[in-house]
Structure 1
Amino acid sequence: MTLRLLLVFLILPVYGQAQQRHWIFFESKPTVTSLSRLSVVFPDGQIEEKLATGWSPDWYDYPVDPRMILQIEQTGAVIHRQSRWLNAVSVTATADQLSRISQMKGVAGLEPVKQLVRPRETMVPVTGSDGLLKQSPGLDYGPGATQIRLTGLDRLHRLGITGRGIRVGVQDAGTKWRTHEALLGATVLAEYDFVEKDTDVTGDDSHGTAVFSLMAANLPGKMIGGTFGSEFLLTKTEYSPTETQIEEDNWVAGIEWLESMGVDIMNSSLGYTTFDDGSGYTYANGDFDGQTTKCTIAADIAARDKNLAVFVAAGNEGNLVPGTLIAPSDGFYVFSSGAVRFDSTLASFSSSGPTNDGRIKPDGLSMGSGNLIATNSKLVYASGNGTSYASPLSASAGALILSVYPELTPSDLNQYLRESADRFTNPDNRYGHGVIHPLNALYKAGPAVSNTFTATLQNGNLVLSGFLAWNRPFIHDSLRFHFHRPGVADQSFTPVLSDSALTVTIPNQWQPGDTVWFSLTGAAGSQPGQVVSFNWPTKPEFRRYLVIGQSETTAKNIRRGSFKPVIDTVYEKPDPDFTIGHAYPNPFNPSVSLKVTTTRSSGFQLQVFDITGRLVSTSDGVLQRGVNYLSWNPQSSGYQPASGIYFLVVHSQNQTKVRKAVFLK
């Protein structure tokens, strides 16, 4: 007994000094002008991808001041997270250390990191009751057909719109996507665990697996998710053994990481509220006003300033009284989802608005009761209830729309979805704007166009086939497919449209590996006597491109932040007699060179195209046998290039080869 008491007294002083995490906010931060300094924020390749959209770094992109970090570490405080958006760090520190930090020059303030609660959802084994076994024409959705059909995702799938080309972030608890049969085909580009600080997001909590499956599952006859053609990035921001507790700085770190990885749209079904003892955030204190909780502030920065569409669960706190929503669903720029049952009646648990400042929430509704979900057991499915399962279906709708119109801003996307909902003209704080209809939302941007086009070569002609639909009649004679190939005059052809099936034949001598940019224009009837014209895509820089494979290929969408090269070098036919090395230096300023090796002398032409496909430079010359260096210095010819991606196209010896280079000012 004496030894036990001694151990207790020895340990208590250590725990007595332990403190809750605190945010340390700074007054300012240095905004350097060199893009290379941003390498500490953005992973390899992401700066290049962002430059492709004309991006230039803003205040939110620059990291916190490293000098302030050093000063804080010198006090003995332990830094957990850095937030470039909040210009803050979270630390664990003693009271004495916090006092010293608060007196530092450049420190704007201190605030405890909130301990938050995630409302729990229910899961039960699939029994085949209610709407779970109803089928839908088209893809075989298995027992999950109702949730896909009620949200209207099947209508987009049938038009070949599957979310291709869009990066989707999923911020949740552990996700066992490598083992469940319905998730084995998911394209996961990266993952990070902000609890264990590693790149494995698996865990004992099946919540993340369930949420992910509603978006990414692709096992016909068993389960198909809402945006199964997308690419995914996963974050884990919750400590599973505690079941409900999370530190808010992990959530903020997670969304900043997803943005740095080039994500277009994200879903977080980890909404948060207060503990039973009153700690955390409370509606009574006015904390759900879109300007108080740190996760809400970060979510709004992502959507408003970083072009990252944010979809979140409204909460499971019920709707019998107003104001039961959870953070970050109170954001101004996020899309918050409530839940309905299979018959479109409101689920009893679905949280209600308004926000503390009087805005209507939720934004819209998707099915979130009796949803088919995957579990952590590789062959097991369950039926789940919760707005956590409605939100990924709404986010899937957003991803499908962005795959057709990636130029839409998050505000555009949110508004189109709200306008598509069945209660848009009479919203309230229980139903929000009602059940969303994503195809109608898409039609507000323009016609629905396939993510993919089948391309075949027939006697040297290129035949493309896909889908085109709109909620107004097309004027068939107005439809034109426009094609652009480097070094070849632009061409336009009239397609054939029959029951949304679109086919166009392009005469010419085409070869596997040839690449083309394409777009579509036309007109449709509106009201009697009125005609509405359209351009797809709506901006030239979002034209799609096509690389012809050996038998067929797909038209790949460009993603916001990533423009595909004119000709993908993986399709080049190796030729030991004529080789071109990579562009060097890359990035470059003021000039870039290509090393060309050839076994015979020949003429050449070097063309340079900018990211929009515009020809900016042409030069001709002679390649000598052996090693040659072709250089391009844009400023020497009077051209003032913008920072971004350029394509160097070399024509010689009946071949065309392309290299990509990035110019940085």
Structure 2
Amino acid sequence: MIRFCCILLILFFSIPGDILAQAPSRYWITFADKGQLTKSTPAVSDQAINNRKNLGLPLHQSSDLPIYQPYIDSLASLAVKTIHRSKWLNAVSAEISPESLEEVRSLPFVSAIDRVDQRLKVLNVLEGNSPDFTSVLDQINAKEIKAQNLDGSGVKIGIIDVGYFGARVNASLKPIFADDRVLGFRDYLQPGNSKPFSNLQSFSNSHGTTVWKMVAGYNKSSNTQYGLATGASYYLARTDHTNYEYRGEEDFWIEAIEWLDSLGVRLVNTSLGYSLGFDDPKENYSPEDMDGKSSKISVAAQIAADEKGMLIIVAAGNEGHDPNWRVVSAPADAKGVISVGATVAGSCAKIRYSALGPDFLNYVKPNIACYSNNGTSFSAPIITGLAACIMQKNPDLTNYQIREVIERSGNLYPYANNYVGYGVPDGDRIIKLLEDIDHDFQRSEQITADTDHFTLSIDSEKEERIVIFHKKNSFAVSGQEEVIHQENQLQIERPENCSRSTIALRDKVIEIIWP
């Protein structure tokens, strides 16, 4: 069986330089204002307005207003071809010829122009054995969530992904179709696509199906549960092709997130990420661009979180082992989203490929992590299902309150790091927090060591594999190790250039501050 690892080999087409010089290039054109539309009625649903009312957000926002059509008409008169529109960014992506670029830049209503790369790249997906998805529900201790019959009922979830080939006949998703809980679908690559579950448009077009399975899958015949949001309803968007990829696909993502907000969807999973790999180094993202504000997709994700109250859960990325990158991809770098990393089985240790949080950020990335041996694409949807259950139990919580609950349940809380964030969430602790938001688990201890060696007494009946994160500072990890105690004693030695070490025990986290 093919396993979509999302660990990708990137190959590029070469395009002669003289052709590139003559061809129009794609740009984001940002407008200075919304023209004369300030008194127009925003095009969002009653559900979206009700969500904002319940969350204490402004009911009518200028970002809801459409782009001022006369601005687009003016661009058209200069032979500028508009491709996508974003009312949130008050911008369009468009093709501009080299001859027209300066004329467009000088228009009084244009505030900025940013180049978008369109070079094509082909992605080869690695193959392997089918992973054991179900063990992750044991890792996050979902027993109490299931005991309380929390399954995301009443929650609307949006999924933005590659495609959903085979979803209708997937045994784990059949209950959703049987109950008519697929509320809408949009294909931004092929808008006329009327058979999203049976037409194979690209070689990894079932990636979204597997992601969906990890959010909501339950196989009745084998009594196997894969995701927690088995009772939720779904809107699906296809924004990524995979056979031929280009930065312009971020435009589709932005359109999709605006569509989901207009419908009143509060919870979104996206297992897509954009990082490096383009032909012209001047047009590539760099790791330094993963700052939550350099990419349009991350800016849109932040607007969704701050202004629209949406909880967006994003796969952190799979370039943690790539020396040319290593950090999270966009939009996982956005401050307001929950970025999800991946751990090894039965442990909170970061798996090799899982992307790191940039050490220059002043906020935690990734936010949380859980098991996946085949890409953060399939750890993020586990957390999405978890968030849906939280929304079901307490629908009045804001997106940021839900994120706080999930983070506080992490096994490393409050000692987050840039490998796995606050660690692996725990369903039992989440239920306790939802029933008593001020609950104090008293699970952490801080110790100041006197020397570069420290001995810790260990309960041999509880502890087997112990994970230690050695850190350069309070956040940035210099290395991790899994150790086994000897005769109930754990000997810890301070590594070079290490100021702190976080020890993850089964029921406790200990922070050692080295002298």
TM over 0.5, yes or no? yes
Where do residues 189-588 of structure 1 align in structure 2 (5 Å cutoff)? 189-198=183-192, 200=194, 201-202=196-197, 203-204=201-202, 205-220=205-220, 221=222, 222-242=224-244, 247-275=249-277, 277=279, 278=281, 280-284=283-287, 286-318=288-320, 324-344=327-347, 345-354=349-358, 356-369=360-373, 385-446=374-435
Bigger CA radius of gyration:
1
Matched, 1:29 2:34: yes
2:64 to 43, 61, 65: 61
Given residue 363 of structure 1, which amino acid in structure 2 is its aligned partner? Answer: N
Give the whole-Å Cα distance in 1 for the aligned partners of 2:48 and 2:317. Answer: 36
Give the whole-Å Cα distance in 2 for the aligned partners of 1:281 and 1:338. Answer: 23
**C-alpha deviations, 1:20-72, integer Å up to 9, x for none?**
3110101111474666x33xx336x5567558748621121111111111111
Higher relative contact order (CA 8 A, sep 6+): 2
- CA 1:91–1:355 in 2, change beyond 3 Å: closer, same or farther? farther
**C-alpha deviations, 1:229-282, integer Å up to 9, x for none?**
111111111123226765321221121111112111111110111116435554
Give the whole-Å Cα distance in 1 for the aligned partners of 2:293 and 2:261. Answer: 20
Give the whole-Å Cα distance in 1 for the aligned partners of 2:124 and 2:409. Answer: 29
Matched, 1:178 2:168: yes
For structure 2, the residue ranges without an aligned partner over 5 or more in a row are 1-15, 442-515
CA drift at 1:356: 3.4
Structure (1 or 2) with the greater strand fraction: 1
Matched, 1:155 2:121: no
Identity of aligned residues (%): 26
Give the whole-Å Cα distance in 1 for the aligned partners of 2:364 and 2:52. Answer: 37
CA drift at 1:115: 5.1
Given residue 23 of structure 2, which amino acid in structure 1 is its aligned partner? Answer: A
CA drift at 1:438: 3.5
Give the whole-Å Cα distance in 2 for the aligned partners of 1:437 and 1:120. Answer: 35
For structure 1, the residue ranges without an aligned partner over 5 or more in a row are 1-10, 133-143, 370-384, 449-469, 473-665
Contact residue 239 and residue 246 of structure 1 kept, 8 A = no
Contact residue 118 and residue 273 of structure 1 kept, 8 A = no
Contact residue 343 and residue 350 of structure 2 kept, 8 A = yes
CA drift at 1:193: 1.2
Contact residue 367 and residue 390 of structure 1 kept, 8 A = yes
Give the whole-Å Cα distance in 1 for the aligned partners of 2:225 and 2:24. Answer: 46
Matched, 1:107 2:97: no
Given residue 212 of structure 2, which amino acid in structure 1 is its aligned partner? Answer: F
Given residue 187 of structure 2, which amino acid in structure 1 is its aligned partner? Answer: D
Give the whole-Å Cα distance in 1 for the aligned partners of 2:38 and 2:51. Answer: 16
Give the whole-Å Cα distance in 2 for the aligned partners of 1:118 and 1:337. Answer: 26
**C-alpha deviations, 1:209-240, integer Å up to 9, x for none?**
11111112232225542211111111111123
- CA 1:430–1:471 in 2, change beyond 3 Å: closer, same or farther? closer
TM-score by length of 2: 0.71
- CA 1:23–1:414 in 2, change beyond 3 Å: closer, same or farther? same
Contact residue 31 and residue 59 of structure 1 kept, 8 A = no
- CA 1:388–1:121 in 2, change beyond 3 Å: closer, same or farther? farther
- CA 1:282–1:113 in 2, change beyond 3 Å: closer, same or farther? closer
- CA 1:264–1:69 in 2, change beyond 3 Å: closer, same or farther? same
Given residue 353 of structure 2, which amino acid in structure 1 is its aligned partner? Answer: F
CA drift at 1:358: 3.9
- CA 1:174–1:42 in 2, change beyond 3 Å: closer, same or farther? same
**C-alpha deviations, 1:363-412, integer Å up to 9, x for none?**
1111211xxxxxxxxxxxxxxx0011100111111111011112111111
CA drift at 1:327: 1.1
TM-score by length of 1: 0.56
Q: What residue in structure 2 maps to residue 19 of structure 1?
A: 24
